Chains A and B, each alone.
Chain A
Amino acid sequence: MTFLHFLILSSIVFIIGLVGLMMNRRHLIRALLALEVLFLSVHLLFVSSSAFLGDLQGQVMSLFVLGVGAAEVAVGLSLLVLFYRRYQRTDVDDIAQLKG
């Protein structure tokens, strides 16, 4: 169990999240879940590096950021609700109003 293992693990989780976000063409909730995975993979890296470096500040910081992350999820979900109320759908492909 070296730091490299954690690095690889968090990278794999990150890539899973990223690919999930990119491949997802169906549902907005899936996109939110993929985002959460991305977010947590970074946390994993942060906490593990804090543990290996023996500096508790990183873990404390991670806790704070988790709090912010919860707020972000709340915002995402409320956007989802609004989107559903407006279009009666939650397909990601329908969100394309920002085209040039």
Chain B
Amino acid sequence: MLLSFLILTLFLPLFGALIPGKYVPVGCLLLGTLSSLLLVITFAADPMSSPVILFKWMGAIDWGLSIDAMSVTMVTFISLISCLVHVYALEYMAEDSRQRQFMGLLSLFTFFMLILVTAPTLIQLFVGWEGVGVCSYFLIGFWFEKEAAAKAALRAFIMNRVGDFFFILGIVGHFWGTFPTFVGVSFLLAAMAKSAQIGFHLWLPGSMEGPTPVSALIHAATLVTAGIFLLLKLSPFLESVPPILTVAGYVGGVTALFGAVMAFFQKDLKRILAYSTASQLGIMMMAIGLGAVNAALFHLITHGFFKALLFLGAGVVIHLYKGEQDVTRMGALGVKAPVVYAAMLVGFLSLTGMPFFAGFFSKEMILEIAFHQGSFVLLTLALLTAFMTGLYATRVMWRVFHGGKGKQGSFGKVSPLLSTPLVILSLLSLAIGYIGYAVWGRLLLSLPFPAPLSFSGHITVWVSFAGIFVGYALYGVLPHTSVFLKEKFPALHTFFVQEAYGDSLCQGLFVKPFQRFAKAMAFLEGRIDHDGPMAFVRGARRIHHILGRLQTGHICHALYGLVLGLVALLLYGVCQ
């Protein structure tokens, strides 16, 4: 029963991807989501955790499905988000001539993501890992007519290849069972690349060149969490190597703060959300570093819902502005599009961790664990992140929905296909905290801290609220302050607007040297070809010319050869 629901959920998206059509993938995903809900109900009634091996490959590698609390949770979460994004994309991509291809790719991505989260072995996980990577490449570069999109797709792919390389190293090391530190570092680097942690974060803002449904599904809720998922899956192993956990904690903390600061200085609505995603992934990474596996998974789920909501809302905003993504050119949209306003408000309140919204439960839990473990550096980083999150959330809300200078003109009505997913996700963003904490936490996850409202008088909430207040003061009350600060510290401002010169650094440190190296290698390769294999070719040709003359085509010459051969054979026989 359980297995059949899981298999249905898993393979319906693949079916949808293989059958061309606009509505087939949506239908398949709806059925798949239904099946995944049945799956989670069945599982909750009778929890068991055992991998089911379907068949063996080459006599050694198992292919199967792992059924446990984490995979069931992830499967339901991914199906649900993917289903909503599919419905949204029906309308969002309606004017695109390749919409059917788009829907198919989304479904294919969903399939690979489900493979990834249900994998019982690292090899199968790697198959899913690569599958989502390549689908992400196709979808970021979906509008490949734009040079920026094609470049961003390539960049995302190459940066992920670095992670994939470390993943392979990790698998090999894990298989041998030696050098646990090396294996841990490999897996950590793989996860950092996939989850856009600092150093590997550049591809995530770039991937915003893809259509918005892609950003919502892949670059907020699912693909980028694959790295976190990998570490969660490996947490029993990682606990045997404490230094790796410590490093993961600091990487996460630094990424969280870095992402939040960068988000504050971006102008592009989607890039703001991308950096915000990197920041939240950093929080999850930090939770892993603290050993709080369940809290990290919980935050992964809540973040998936509210960040998908934010992206889908941003997509509607961009649609309403006819492709405009610069928040400084928006304004006063709140009255004109109340549904979107409400949805984005729910999303941002959840993101900042305001009480009773989804983000509150998970974020508070992680910070509380940091507090209890006495890791005050991480706690400080997280609190600063919370403050910055409040700040940039307020900035976006103010720029887009309040503010004076907005584009004039009439805005169309928001189609129900666009607004329904927004409403559903808003409700889920409100409810998932309770559901996760009260129902599903008890049933499936046994979350470690029963009372989330105990940590030092909700200091997280106060800090976030301070961020929101400062943001309101900067943009609502004293709009000239930000301009004043900008003019006072131009170098600092440029540093942040240029995203800490990440692009130039990457170009200078990796891309340019590699191009030079490639050029040198190309020259060397030419020489090697000329003097190596091609020399053989030339020699063979020469020999062919000489030997070819022996064959004259005259019958008598052939006969001479024949008779001579015969005589030689006879002589040989006689001499023997």
Contact = CB atoms under 8 A, between A and B. Distances in A.
B244 to A, nearest CB: 68
Contacts of B560: 22
Q: How large is the interface on A (under 10, 10 to 19, 20 to 34, 35 or more residues)?
A: 10 to 19
Contacts of A98: 551, 553
B559 interface: yes
B154 to A, nearest CB: 50
Contacts of A99: 551-553
B556 interface: yes
Contacts of A96: 552-554
Contacts, number: 35
B555 to A, nearest CB: 6
Contacts of A22: 556, 559-560, 563
Nearest to A23: B556
A31 interface: yes
Nearest to A31: B555
Q: How large is the interface on B (under 10, 10 to 19, 20 to 34, 35 or more residues)?
A: 10 to 19
Nearest to A24: B556
A22 B563 CA distance: 10
Contacts of B553: 95-100
A23 B557 CA distance: 10
A93 B550 CA distance: 16
Interface string A1-28: 0000000000000000010011111000
B549 interface: yes
A92 B555 contact: yes
Contacts of B554: 92-93, 95-96
A53 B114 CA distance: 83
Contacts of A23: 556
B559 A21 contact: yes
Given A18-B563, A22-B563, A92 B556 contact: yes
Contacts of A24: 556
B548 interface: yes
Nearest to B549: A100
B431 to A, nearest CB: 84
Nearest to B552: A99
A96 B563 CA distance: 19
Contacts of B550: 100
Contacts of B547: 100
Interface string A41-64: 000000000000000000000000
A37 B552 CA distance: 26
B566 to A, nearest CB: 10
Interface in B524-576: 547-556, 559-560, 563
A21 B558 CA distance: 11
A93 B554 CA distance: 6
A22 B561 CA distance: 11
Nearest to A19: B563
Contacts of A21: 555-556, 559
Query: Of residues A18, A31, A98, A100, which shows the largest number of chain B Cβ atoms within 10 Å of its Cβ?
Result: A100
A25 B556 contact: yes
Contacts of A92: 554-556
Nearest to A97: B553
Contacts of B555: 21, 31, 92, 95
B375 to A, nearest CB: 82
A88 to B, nearest CB: 20
A95 B560 CA distance: 16
B553 to A, nearest CB: 3
A30 to B, nearest CB: 12
Given A18-B563, A22-B563, A100 B551 contact: yes
Contacts of A95: 553-555
Query: Of residues B550, B553, B555, B559, which shows the largest number of chain A Cβ atoms within 10 Å of its Cβ?
Result: B555
B393 to A, nearest CB: 81
A8 B552 CA distance: 34
A12 to B, nearest CB: 16
A31 B559 CA distance: 12
Contacts of A97: 553
Nearest to B566: A18
Contacts of A18: 559, 563
Given A92-B556, A99-B552, 6 more contacts: A18-B559, A18-B563, A22-B559, A31-B555, A96-B553, A98-B551
**Ordered nearest first, which 6 A-B pairs have the shortest CB separation?**
A99-B553, A96-B553, A100-B551, A100-B548, A98-B553, A22-B559
Interface of B: 547-556, 559-560, 563
12 contacts: A21-B556, A22-B563, A23-B556, A24-B556, A95-B554, A96-B552, A96-B553, A98-B551, A98-B553, A100-B550, A100-B551, A100-B553
Interface of A: 18, 21-25, 31, 92-93, 95-100
